[in-house]
């Protein structure tokens, strides 16, 4: 390994980081990670901490998942690459499609279209939604509706349905025909409604209203995260997604469940849609599908949507999109091994249990630290929202969460900062002791403010 000075200097000189000002890394040195094991990461200075970020919501089985590593090694020896384009495929992609169809059978999803990551999955889902209507003779259905505060990746389609100005403004004009409704976020919403159930009804009514305004026959799909993630972890009331499902069905609109974070156990259920008792028409997955060890994703397709494509004899159903790495055999092998572990370890059950511990602990901290305006969570996705004044809910300045993060890191835990939110998304295999340590380091961070 090059020495730490070389790494720091050249990172500042040559690397542009996602979601950051290019000059930032010159003054604000990023933590350089060099090693990891179980749920811990080690930086270039040899400092080891629990990774309460779980990579980027993706290393659900931790860093020492030997079956996934071995599957990658073996596959590199057997068949390091072959595509799924026209007339070829590979054994691992086929086996994975079979396993995914079993895993997502309770969600009504049986076909897989493979991608190289979350943004790719979103793009494919949006395209398939439009094409589905076109095949059925409703080519006027081209628009999309989504939630404000939602995050759907960074490609132009995904950015267009994104509900956070930060990821949109620099790249406008985005795709026309994308509209947003208020998110069921109890802490901040335009209705000033703090009752989650009432708020769910108000947001559902806003969806109905927008559909009526646009004309149902112009709308292809509604896309949502079952629990808003990157926007700051905002679990809706359990009635929200079922209400959305009902409205979409009544209006012939497809429901795309963007489960790039929530699929495979993070909410405490095998999928986010299942968590809320909903069957989506399309589901976007990525991240934990390979435990983060290989870039990979899959769009899962409901039977009744697939039937429309497969029954078409006019030629309009040719899926004319895809990626060089769609169904990459190494990614597929990694995903097969990860899926086997996810099922064998029932990680969603641990996520539910440890999620309760984490959320309960964070709520306890809220009672002691004025700076915590709101605490939210579902399974192992939790957030603290920091405010300078609980009455006005004014967000704290940028430096406050960074200071908390730094102190927690020194005390042995990596947490993530997003605006005035501190986000927790640890591997789903964390133990009671790991969560206790995450809480105590967070307390250290809060005490440092």
The alpha-helical segments, DSSP class H, found in 175-256 are: 196-214, 240-250
Q: Which stretch binds ligand PLP (CB under 6 A): 150-158, 203-211, 303-311, 388-396?
A: 150-158
Give me the 54-73 binding string for ligand PLP, x by CB under 6 A, dash otherwise. Answer: --------------------
Distant-in-sequence, close-in-space partners of 128: CB < 8 Å, separation ≥ 6: 113, 282, 299, 301, 305, 309, 319
Within positions 327 to 386, which residues make up the interface with ligand PLP, using CB under 6 A? none
**Which one of 53, 122, 145, 347 is in contact with ligand PLP (CB under 6 A)?**
122
Is residue 117 a contact residue for ligand PLP (CB under 6 A)? yes
Within positions 267 to 326, which residues make up the interface with ligand PLP, using CB under 6 A? 286
Q: Which residue, 116 or 357, has its beta carbon nearer to ligand PLP?
A: 116
CA distances from 379 to 44, 128, 297, 298 (A): 31, 30, 22, 23
Q: Which stretch binds ligand PLP (CB under 6 A): 59-67, 145-153, 184-192, 334-342?
A: 145-153
Is residue 148 a contact residue for ligand PLP (CB under 6 A)? no
Q: Which stretch binds ligand PLP (CB under 6 A): 117-125, 190-198, 338-346, 404-412?
A: 117-125
Is residue 152 a contact residue for ligand PLP (CB under 6 A)? yes
Backbone angles phi and psi of 84, in degrees to 5: -105, 10
Closest distance of CB 229 from ligand PLP, Å: 5
Closest distance of CB 297 from ligand PLP, Å: 7
Provide the pairing of β-strand 219-224 with 143-147: parallel
Is residue 261 a contact residue for ligand PLP (CB under 6 A)? yes
Closest distance of CB 159 from ligand PLP, Å: 10
SS3 category, 346: coil
Tokens of 19: 């979601």
Is residue 113 a contact residue for ligand PLP (CB under 6 A)? no
Within positions 239 to 258, which residues make up the interface with ligand PLP, using CB under 6 A? 258
Query: Cα separation of 341 and 164, whole Å?
Result: 34
Is residue 141 a contact residue for ligand PLP (CB under 6 A)? no
Residue 400 CB: number of other CB atoms within 10 A? 19
Residues 125-135 as b or e (16 or more Cβ within 10 Å = b): bbbbbbbbbbb
Query: Counting Cβ atoms within 10 Å, is residue 255 exposed (0-12), middle (13-18) or buried (19+)?
Result: buried
Q: Which stretch binds ligand PLP (CB under 6 A): 149-157, 359-367, 373-381, 437-445?
A: 149-157
Is the dihedral angle over the CA atoms 272, 427, 409, 362 positive or is it negative? positive
Q: Which residue, 151 or 276, has its beta carbon nearer to ligand PLP?
A: 151
Which residue of this chain has its Cβ atom nearest to ligand PLP in the complex?
Answer: 118
Q: Which of 100, 43, 125, 56 is nearest to 287 (CA)?
A: 56
Q: Which residue, 117 or 182, has its beta carbon nearer to ligand PLP?
A: 117
Within its chain, how far is the Cα of 320 from the centroid? 26
Residue 139 CB: number of other CB atoms within 10 A? 12
SS3 category, 5: helix
Q: Which residue, 147 or 253, has its beta carbon nearer to ligand PLP?
A: 147
Please count the residues of this chain forming the interface with ligand PLP, following the rule CB under 6 A.
14
> At which residue do the structure tokens 């779980």 appear?
54
Is residue 119 a contact residue for ligand PLP (CB under 6 A)? yes
Within positions 206 to 235, which residues make up the interface with ligand PLP, using CB under 6 A? 225, 229-230
**Binding site residues, ligand PLP, CB under 6 A:** 117-119, 122, 151-153, 225, 229-230, 258, 260-261, 286
């Amino acid at each position: 390994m090059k020495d730490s000075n070389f790494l720091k200097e050249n990172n500042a000189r040559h690397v542009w980081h996602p979601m950051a000002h290019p000059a930032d890394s010159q003054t604000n040195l990023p933590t350089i990670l060099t090693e990891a094991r179980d749920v811990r990461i080690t930086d270039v200075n040899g400092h080891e901490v629990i990774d309460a970020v779980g990579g980027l919501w993706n290393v659900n089985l931790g860093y020492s998942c030997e079956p996934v590593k071995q599957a990658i090694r073996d596959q590199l020896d057997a068949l390091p690459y072959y595509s799924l384009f026209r007339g070829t495929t590979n054994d691992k992609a086929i086996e994975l499609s079979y396993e995914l169809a079993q895993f997502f059978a309770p969600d009504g999803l049986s076909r897989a279209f493979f991608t190289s990551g979350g943004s790719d999955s979103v793009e494919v889902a949006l395209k398939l939604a439009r094409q589905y209507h076109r095949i059925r003779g409703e080519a006027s259905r081209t628009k999309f509706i989504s939630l404000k505060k939602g995050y759907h990746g960074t490609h132009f389609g995904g950015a267009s349905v994104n509900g956070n100005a930060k990821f949109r403004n620099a790249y406008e004009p985005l795709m026309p025909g994308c509209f947003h409704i208020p998110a069921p976020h109890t802490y901040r919403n335009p209705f000033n409604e703090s009752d989650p159930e009432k708020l769910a009804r108000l947001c559902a009514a806003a969806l109905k209203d927008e559909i009526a305004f646009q004309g149902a026959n112009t709308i292809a799909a509604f896309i949502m995260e079952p629990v808003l993630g990157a926007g700051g972890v905002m679990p809706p009331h359990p009635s929200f997604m079922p209400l959305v499902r009902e409205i979409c069905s009544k209006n012939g609109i497809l429901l795309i469940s963007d489960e790039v974070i929530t699929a495979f156990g993070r909410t405490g259920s095998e999928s986010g849609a299942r968590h809320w008792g909903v069957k989506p028409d399309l589901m976007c997955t990525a991240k934990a599908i390979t435990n983060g060890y290989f870039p990979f994703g899959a769009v899962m397709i409901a039977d009744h949507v697939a039937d429309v494509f497969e029954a078409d004899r006019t030629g309009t159903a040719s899926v004319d999109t895809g990626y060089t790495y769609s169904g990459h055999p190494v990614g597929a092998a990694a995903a097969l091994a990860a899926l086997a572990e996810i099922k064998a370890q029932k990680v969603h059950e641990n996520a539910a249990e440890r999620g309760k511990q984490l959320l309960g602990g964070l709520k306890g901290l809220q009672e002691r630290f004025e700076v915590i305006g709101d605490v939210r969570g579902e399974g192992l996705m939790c957030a603290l929202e920091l405010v300078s004044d609980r009455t006005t809910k004014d967000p704290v300045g940028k430096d406050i969460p960074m200071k908390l993060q730094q102190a927690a890191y020194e005390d042995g835990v990596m947490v993530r900062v997003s605006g005035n939110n501190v986000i927790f998304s640890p591997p789903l295999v964390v133990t009671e002791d790991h969560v206790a340590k995450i809480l105590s380091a967070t307390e250290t961070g809060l005490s440092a403010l």
